[in-house]
Structure 1
Amino acid sequence: MEYWKLPPRVKVLEALGCIGDGRIEFTGEREARVTGSDGQRVYRVVWDGGLGIASDDNGSVYRGYLGYPSIAFLMLKGVLPFDSKLSKALKGIPWRELNEKFKSYRETENYVRELLSQKGVSWAYVEAFIRKVLGEIEKLKPYKIPLER
């Protein structure tokens, strides 16, 4: 069995923003379409009902980590922790644009940190939530399943 690698920290925030934006559309009990932040791409997520999940987003396909579409899916299914306050605060962030501009997840995260600070969101709160989600991913060990067409 092949397990997903731990995603970059910022992908937890991107998943919350995706949910806040309403960009995840369930097409069935175990499948969803997730629209990218710029509206140009649509990713497919398929779940086995347990800890097996697949997605065709770039992080999943090319880097082998659990991508933000899968994280968002698992949050909405109650498998991973979700925070509606943070999700609302992260609404409307142009993730793809920021990732291309900064070419560094750390720089993107720093930029988002500033945005959240302007909205009065404590970074300590955000940091604790990121650690909580990454800890759950590490503990649960979601694994790769085939993404059948």
Structure 2
Amino acid sequence: MAPWAMPPKIKIYEALSAVADGRVTLTGPTSATVRSSTGEKLYHVAWSHDLRYITADDPASRWQGYLGYPIIAVLLQLGKISYDPEQARLLAGIPWRVLNTQFKRNYEQALAYVMGEIERRGGRREKLLAEVERVFASLEQLRLERSPR
């Protein structure tokens, strides 16, 4: 199988948000669902018992070839990648789909908006950036491969 490409870092923020919002549901020993930020879509994630192979049906995972936020959110929920719950809570309730549409998929603009929101909520930009970098590095070390559908 082919290895997964690494995602844009904004997908780490989206995954932390999904976990903070309680949108990740484990449905079996090797499967889960992740509800979108608007609640309109439900993405399915499945993996091998050894977690070497993983797949999901979100657009990024399916069509772009990189690890989409549902896969990352499941890895966080499973504890395969540790995260700071305090930093994740700062991202709770962020309407990612709305923002991605509003900013025409310009992730830098969407992230700038989110960082402003984080600061309004009392968060520190540097601390959240460091957490995202740490999660990204941990994700990269997993060297996950795409599983067949």
Normalised by the size of structure 1, how large is the TM-score?
0.94
Name the CA distance, whole Å, in 2 between partners of 1:114 and 1:51: 37
Match of 2:119 among 117, 120, 123: 117
SS at match of 2:33: strand
Name the CA distance, whole Å, in 2 between partners of 1:86 and 1:51: 27
Superposition CA RMSD, Å: 1.1
Count of aligned residue pairs for this structure pair: 147
Name the CA distance, whole Å, in 1 between partners of 2:52 and 2:86: 26
% identity of equivalent residues: 37
2:133 — aligned with what?
131
2:27 — aligned with what?
27
Name the CA distance, whole Å, in 2 between partners of 1:87 and 1:132: 13
1:94 — aligned with what?
95
> By how many angstroms is 1:82 displaced?
1.7
> By how many angstroms is 1:51 displaced?
2.7
Bigger Cα displacement from structure 2, 75-84 vs 59-68 = 75-84
Structure 2 residue runs without a partner (length 5+) = none
> By how many angstroms is 1:128 displaced?
0.9
1:70 — aligned with what?
71
Structure 1 residue runs without a partner (length 5+) = none
Q: 2:9 aligned with 1:6, yes or no?
A: no
> By how many angstroms is 1:143 displaced?
0.9
Name the CA distance, whole Å, in 2 between partners of 1:51 and 1:131: 22
Aligned AA (1:23): R
Name the CA distance, whole Å, in 2 between partners of 1:3 and 1:112: 30
- 8 Å contact 1:35–1:41 — kept in the other structure? yes
SS at match of 1:3: coil
1:43 — aligned with what?
43
Name the CA distance, whole Å, in 2 between partners of 1:15 and 1:92: 12
> By how many angstroms is 1:48 displaced?
1.1
- 8 Å contact 1:81–1:132 — kept in the other structure? no
Per-residue CA distance 1:44-100 (angstroms, 9 max, x = gap) = 000113232100001101111101100010011111122211221111111100001
SS at match of 1:76: helix
Aligned AA (1:62): W
SS at match of 2:3: coil
Per-residue CA distance 1:94-144 (angstroms, 9 max, x = gap) = 110000110211111111110111112111111111111111222221111
